[in-house]
Structure 1
Amino acid sequence: MSTKSHLVFIPSPGLGHLVSTVEIAKLLVDRDGRLSITILIMKLPFDSEVDSRIESLAASIAAGIHFVILPRRNPSPDTSRVAFLTDFIESHKADVREAVADLNMCGSPQLAGLVVDMFCTTMIEVASELSVPSYVFFTSSAAALGLLLHLQSIQDEHHMDLTELEGSDAELDFPCFRNPLPAAKFLPSDVFINEAGRLLLSHALRIRETRGILVNTFTELEPHAVEALAGLGAPPVYPVGPIVNIKVESRRGTEGNNSPKGFEILEWLDQQPETSVVFLCFGSFGSFDEDQAKEIARALEQSRRRFLWSLRQPPTKGKLEAPHDYANPAEVLPEGFLDRTARVGRVIGWAPQVAILSHPAIGGFVSHCGWNSTLESIWFGVPIATWPQYAEQQLNAFELVVELGLAAQIKVDYRKDLVKGSNFVTADEIEGGIRKLMESHEAAERRKKVKEVSEKSRKALVEGGSSYLSLASFIENVQRQ
């Protein structure tokens, strides 16, 4: 069959979702020359980093992939913080219709479907209007997908009030986990808030309507969760990961590494012994106030470990904006800390994370457990110490520590997005987690296990691997339409 087909991807706003979408688009057009892809981009009103990142992505994009930047929209001032993302995406629905109509008019190949992000399920309605299939690109784990589907089922079919689980001692059995899940500690915070929970689980209901789900995982990492999805009423599931931007062959020319800061960071790592450095980084929206930053600093100094710490300043209270670098980190750190640790550590702002994780000097990663970061760490064989912040990160921490045995823990119930959460971690707790990650007897066993899973992650993507074959099945599904 030589018929050309066109897919339109609609990622959720935010760098993590955009980068994953671009990477899977590259995989698809590389695998099948009949496919072309347009990526529709919604730009958050406060995320300035996306503009420069889009430029760099566009410069290196593969043939057959095109970007369309949608008009920037601002939700109503009356929109609640909980509903902001939902309303922001909804406000782009007319723009998506217009962009797809323009593609049809300019002679693009036949539209084969819309592939919508896990948070853009409202766009499934646009696919229905156009009489084309819709698919979901689920940028988190198979376990998170299974949990979402199961929660929607027990709420809508069994009328369970999920908000009552907040603060409870209940341990729930979920088909996607082998172990009982302590609900109050590990369920996403949105589940405990009426409006947020309703919006979150509405995505699960819509996901059931689609023709298939691409999941950013690989079967060897989550065999139990992947197998459980069929019994949860999910459409066909295609584990196609790990979908990560891991091209670091030219270290100083990727992911912004050619900036003076990126170059300096990697030069410093070059001077450190193999697996000696603990890397602390908490994602695009991870940040700490002064009191918590001081505790981290004390822990690092007490541990006497080499460290590289990406420290970001929290957004201004009450403002919708992303964290940014401190102008002068010394102002929020213990007096003299930078001088006392100058020979063993570096405090930085933005971090070229992929290049750092790929460096042989890195021996452990203190992480927020965002799924992209988790997959990058696994790819490079770097063990994690979990310190989740928000969204589904507590759930990811549970999977890494309890289900898979791939991580140590610092704190598993820390929540920045819930007032009643445990929002302070002491220096002793942090130091203990770093020692478990880097020094304990279990650390050696854990490092060995992570290396084994790293090898499996690479094999999954090559010809004959599980994700390679799963992507082929998805392409076949698209071409049949």
Structure 2
Amino acid sequence: MEDAIVLYPSPAIGHLISMVELGKLLLTHHPSLSINILITTAPYTGAGSTTPYINHVSATTPSITFHHLPTISLPPNFTSSPHHETLTFEVLRLNNPNIHQALQSISKNYTVRALIFDFFCAPALTVAAEFGIPGYYFFTSGAACLGGFLYFPTTHRNTTKSFKDLNTNLYIPSLPPIPAADMPKPMLERTDKVYDCFLDASIEMPKSAGIIVNTFESLEKRAIEELLVLALEPSSLQTEIVYRGGAMKYETGLVKSVFRGGCSLGQIRNWQLLVEELQEEDMDAFLQVVLRTKIAKDLKN
């Protein structure tokens, strides 16, 4: 049977676009792959319609197949949490039977080589284990942010108070000191359900087969070094880290980067600001434009 990779994004359009672009990059390196993307209906309004985008990708990239999962119904007033992330975490937790059924169906026609899911889809790791399929996290933010989440269980253990009530800085290896009250809003109140959701997801990440993170060394040298230290400490992080870096174009004009990796460490070691790159509209060129614009403004002032 042909090989397939299954991608499982969160419901919002931004998460879907990131997963689709990852799928396209995998096809660039392995054209014979079949990319299967699992689609979940968002549990809240304002997530953005995904239908036009899905139709466009289906028409232009036939190697990518979308599977629409059954809608998950939540009871009215499911939670008093003001954060929509709470609903997202709960829907994706309840989605596991649908993920199991989808993998079972796909496995009838393909050999599924991996299940790749984003941060909010942590419960899917147990489904991957049931099928004996490697489960990978796709972390679309950079290495510094990833380090913050991987260190979150330690930060949690270091205090019994909510971050919003702490008048002190938090010291996280991959980040500069952060005032506790400046942590992301869903993580400020220790007694909020969404806080536990983020904590549980952070605890689960090291149990995966690997983490794909959107970065390259010359952009986040210190953060990557801290992640490598964590990776060498069995008690801290028992997983391999797969870095993403490089440059390719987005059809939509957004910033994009090339998948490097497999199941081992792969990272971009050099980042040269070349004028020719400005014509490519890639990640490096995008950053270069930003830097050049800032420098020009500074000189002008």
One-letter amino acid matched to 1:240: R
Residue 273 of structure 2 corresponds to: none
Does residue 56 (structure 1) correspond to residue 60 (structure 2)? The answer is: no
Displacement of 1:21 in angstroms is: 0.5
TM-score by length of 1: 0.49
What secondary structure sits across from 2:218 in the alignment?
coil
Moved more, 221-230 or 239-248: 239-248
Residue 271 of structure 2 corresponds to: none
CA contact (8 A) 1:43 1:50 kept: no
**In the aligned structure 2, how far is the partner of 1:126 from the partner of 1:42?**
16
**In the aligned structure 2, how far is the partner of 1:115 from the partner of 1:122?**
12
**In the aligned structure 2, how far is the partner of 1:168 from the partner of 1:407?**
39
CA contact (8 A) 2:13 2:48 kept: no
CA contact (8 A) 1:162 1:192 kept: no
User: Which structure 1 segments of 5+ residues have no match?
Assistant: 249-253, 256-358, 361-374, 384-405, 409-435, 445-481
Residue 21 of structure 1 corresponds to: 19
Residue 107 of structure 2 corresponds to: 104
**In the aligned structure 2, how far is the partner of 1:78 from the partner of 1:40?**
27
One-letter amino acid matched to 1:174: I
Residue 147 of structure 1 corresponds to: 148
What do residues 44-75 of structure 1 show as CA deviations (whole Å, max 9, x unaligned)?
Answer: 153452122211222222x4321111122232
CA contact (8 A) 2:57 2:64 kept: no
Does residue 68 (structure 1) correspond to residue 76 (structure 2)? The answer is: no
Residues 223 and 86 of structure 1: is their aligned pair in 2 closer, same or farther, counting only changes over 3 Å?
same
CA contact (8 A) 1:246 1:376 kept: no
Residue 40 of structure 1 corresponds to: 38
Does residue 247 (structure 1) correspond to residue 246 (structure 2)? The answer is: no
**In the aligned structure 2, how far is the partner of 1:68 from the partner of 1:118?**
20
Q: Which has the larger radius of gyration?
A: 1
Does residue 122 (structure 1) correspond to residue 119 (structure 2)? The answer is: no
Does residue 86 (structure 1) correspond to residue 82 (structure 2)? The answer is: no
Displacement of 1:173 in angstroms is: 2.3
Residue 474 of structure 1 corresponds to: none
Displacement of 1:215 in angstroms is: 0.7
Residue 286 of structure 2 corresponds to: 379
Displacement of 1:238 in angstroms is: 1.4
CA contact (8 A) 1:24 1:243 kept: no
One-letter amino acid matched to 1:98: Q
User: Identity over the aligned pairs, expressed in percent?
Assistant: 27
One-letter amino acid matched to 2:67: V
Displacement of 1:378 in angstroms is: 6.6
Displacement of 1:171 in angstroms is: 2.1
Of residues 226, 229, 243 in structure 2, which corresponds to 1:228? 226
Displacement of 1:438 in angstroms is: 7.9
Residue 184 of structure 1 corresponds to: 181
What is the aligned residue count?
A: 263
CA contact (8 A) 1:11 1:17 kept: yes
What do residues 227-286 of structure 1 show as CA deviations (whole Å, max 9, x unaligned)?
Answer: 2113333321112136886236xxxxx79xxxxxxxxxxxxxxxxxxxxxxxxxxxxxxx
**In the aligned structure 1, how far is the partner of 2:50 from the partner of 2:284?**
23
**In the aligned structure 2, how far is the partner of 1:209 from the partner of 1:97?**
19
**In the aligned structure 2, how far is the partner of 1:169 from the partner of 1:190?**
18
What do residues 359-382 of structure 1 show as CA deviations (whole Å, max 9, x unaligned)?
Answer: 99xxxxxxxxxxxxxx96972644
Displacement of 1:132 in angstroms is: 1.7
Displacement of 1:167 in angstroms is: 5.2
What secondary structure sits across from 1:66 in the alignment?
strand
CA contact (8 A) 1:79 1:87 kept: no
**In the aligned structure 2, how far is the partner of 1:169 from the partner of 1:376?**
38
What secondary structure sits across from 1:49 in the alignment?
coil
Of residues 195, 198, 202 in structure 1, which corresponds to 2:196? 198
**In the aligned structure 2, how far is the partner of 1:75 from the partner of 1:382?**
45
Residue 270 of structure 2 corresponds to: none
One-letter amino acid matched to 1:228: E
CA contact (8 A) 2:136 2:209 kept: yes
**In the aligned structure 1, how far is the partner of 2:283 from the partner of 2:14?**
12
Displacement of 1:197 in angstroms is: 1.6
What do residues 89-138 of structure 1 show as CA deviations (whole Å, max 9, x unaligned)?
Answer: 12322111111111122x21x12121111110011111111122111111
**In the aligned structure 2, how far is the partner of 1:236 from the partner of 1:243?**
23
Displacement of 1:211 in angstroms is: 0.7
Residues 214 and 407 of structure 1: is their aligned pair in 2 closer, same or farther, counting only changes over 3 Å?
farther
Aligned-residue Cα RMSD (Å) equals: 3.1
What do residues 391-439 of structure 1 show as CA deviations (whole Å, max 9, x unaligned)?
Answer: xxxxxxxxxxxxxxx699xxxxxxxxxxxxxxxxxxxxxxxxxxx8984
What do residues 132-177 of structure 1 show as CA deviations (whole Å, max 9, x unaligned)?
Answer: 211111111111110111121232xx452351x3154412322112
Map 1:283-432 onto structure 2 (within 5 A). 379=286, 381-383=288-290
Residues 184 and 17 of structure 1: is their aligned pair in 2 closer, same or farther, counting only changes over 3 Å?
same
CA contact (8 A) 1:138 1:213 kept: yes
Of residues 173, 176, 180 in structure 2, which corresponds to 1:175? 173
**In the aligned structure 2, how far is the partner of 1:130 from the partner of 1:210?**
14
